Homo-oligomer: A and B are copies of this chain.
Amino acid sequence: MTIERRRSEWIVEALALRLNQHRDEPATLAQRLYTPLRGWIQQGELTAGEALPSSRRLARALGIGRNTVLTAMERLAAEGFVVARQGAGLSVADLGPLPVAPAPRAAMVEAPPLSGRGQRLLDFCATLSGGHRAFAPGVPALDLFPRERWQRLLRRHQQRSPTDWFDYRSQGGLPALKSALCDYLRLSRSVRCHPEQILITQGAQQGFELITRLLADAGDTAWIEEPGYGGAQACFAMAGLAMQPIPVDAAGIDPEQAAGPPPRLIYVTPSHQYPLGVTLSLNRRLALLKTAERHRAWLIEDDYDSEFRYTSAPLASLQGLAEGAPVIYVGTFSKVLYPGLRLGYLVLPEPLVEVFRRASARLHREGQYVVQAALAEFIEAGHFARHVARMKSAYRQRQAWLRQALAPAVAQGLELSSGHAGMHLVARLASLEQEQRLVDTGHAAEVALSPLSRYYLGPGRPGLVLGYAGSDEGEIARAGGWLSRAWLDLRSR
């Protein structure tokens, strides 16, 4: 009894001390009672069966309301840390052999390891761009985006939005956006579709995820372009697909060159091959369609930046070449508007529409209907087409600035890709060692030099992928000038 009283006094004193120490915490008084008590029980300071001071006594001793004490005690009881005592009051519950001891950090690191596919995924994170620096590929001109107009649209649709836009949805996207997009794609990309075939996604990556997993099983083969896009490859890897890289020549990939097991998926960037920039020729397109039909495979057409073609009108889509072709068209607003928007879309063959809609709602959920409504108006009112046209001339100009900045190196033999289209140029280098050197020194100069060799699944060719769309004149001149000098330096050694 004396021991119990003494323990009980210890609890009261310790609590008074804690309350005093943590006076400035934004927690409620009840939380500030609860937390230390729970800690002492978990650490074994208070042991099973031990009585706690009565709520009346605690309230008086600590100078706080009895209800506050009761709130803390009720929570401890609800969570099983204390139990009602024979007679009256509460005592510490029997938690069995003591809970998990703090694990040393090193043990945790090595403890439950990543999955095999998780490990493999890391290989595809190498070409990941993040944070703005000159030459990061795939970044549009954020400085030229019509922010005020866009914000006005967002505001208007925020105010107007019906309540059910905030709910769980499974429509495959806002009908108004699907319809606006459908008109745009039919006109500008010769895509054959009606609005129901469109599924709005939270970016192209989500589209790849759906396609890959709904249409292929682990062990199936995907044909990919070599070199090619790491984002799509990451999805294939995570889905357990075997990737068959097919070399890209001046006319794109040649299905005749493919060996090995028949493909289930064929991934292509026909308008503007990523990253090399070539256009898939019409004959190759037709051959690919035939190959896909023969193998009952699906063609994935990733049309990521086809809007920006400088020497002729944008090419028609592969999807639109033939009625009922097994092609899924993947689009994104990350390039034309901005990456942080997280909106993209699929154009699906009719038999897949319903199943993709359900799978998307289940696996990813839908949302951002306000943004979708603003985007629908942006397209319908013609702002989208005007923005594309403006960006096309801005990017042509930015490419010209880059060529100008690199002219001294080009005069000495630096080889650049044609640049008929898109948001980046490829510079060919003499060796992987040269590539590595430039990438390393670029890092220090705030220049994001993406090594071409990393875009290859097999042995890579040396080069640099130079995004120019996201940088203004000054940055292009600075970074381009630096690169030109760095290349000349390396060459003269």
Binding site for B on A (CB under 8 A): 26-27, 30-31, 34-35, 38, 42, 71, 74-75, 77-81, 93, 95-96, 99-105, 108-109, 111-112, 114-118, 121-122, 124-125, 128-132, 136, 138-139, 142-143, 145, 151, 154-155, 158-159, 163-171, 183, 187, 190, 202-203, 205-206, 209, 213-218, 220, 230-231, 234-235, 238, 240, 264, 279, 281-283, 285-287, 289-290, 293, 296-298, 311-313, 315-316, 321-326, 334, 338-342, 349-351, 355, 358-359, 361-370, 470
Asked whether A105 lies within 8 Å of B297 as measured between CB atoms, the reply is no
Chain B positions within 8 Å of A122 at CB level: 355, 358-359
Asked whether B167 lies within 8 Å of A132 as measured between CB atoms, the reply is yes
Chain B positions within 8 Å of A326 at CB level: 108, 111-112
Question: In the complex the two chains form, what is the Cα distance from A212 to B348 in whole Å?
Answer: 27
Question: In the complex the two chains form, what is the Cα distance from A489 to B190 in whole Å?
Answer: 58
Question: In the complex the two chains form, what is the Cα distance from A220 to B166 in whole Å?
Answer: 36
Question: In the complex the two chains form, what is the Cα distance from A169 to B118 in whole Å?
Answer: 20
Asked whether B362 lies within 8 Å of A128 as measured between CB atoms, the reply is yes
Asked whether B79 lies within 8 Å of A316 as measured between CB atoms, the reply is yes
Known: A115-B217, A206-B364, A342-B365. 7 other contacts (CB 8 A): A78-B279, A112-B264, A115-B214, A125-B359, A166-B339, A205-B364, A342-B367
Asked whether B362 lies within 8 Å of A131 as measured between CB atoms, the reply is no
Asked whether B108 lies within 8 Å of A351 as measured between CB atoms, the reply is yes
Question: In the complex the two chains form, what is the Cα distance from A313 to B34 in whole Å?
Answer: 11
- Closest residue of B by beta carbon distance from A112: B296
Chain B positions within 8 Å of A283 at CB level: 80, 95-96
Question: In the complex the two chains form, what is the Cα distance from A121 to B364 in whole Å?
Answer: 13
A128-B361, A298-B112, A341-B367 are known contacts. Are A166 and B142 too (CB-CB below 8 A)? yes
Closest 10 CB pairs of A and B: A80-B282, A130-B170, A342-B367, A118-B214, A103-B324, A102-B323, A100-B322, A166-B338, A75-B313, A109-B351
Question: In the complex the two chains form, what is the Cα distance from A103 to B217 in whole Å?
Answer: 25
A108-B324, A128-B361, A282-B80 are known contacts. Are A220 and B367 too (CB-CB below 8 A)? no
Asked whether A358 lies within 8 Å of B102 as measured between CB atoms, the reply is no
Chain B positions within 8 Å of A216 at CB level: 115
Choose from B30, B81, B315, B349 the contact partner of A78 (Cβ within 8 Å).
B315
Question: In the complex the two chains form, what is the Cα distance from A489 to B345 in whole Å?
Answer: 47
Chain B positions within 8 Å of A234 at CB level: 362-363
Question: In the complex the two chains form, what is the Cα distance from A130 to B172 in whole Å?
Answer: 11
CB proximity of A310 to chain B, nearest CB, Å: 12
A282-B81, A338-B166 are known contacts. Are A118 and B365 too (CB-CB below 8 A)? no
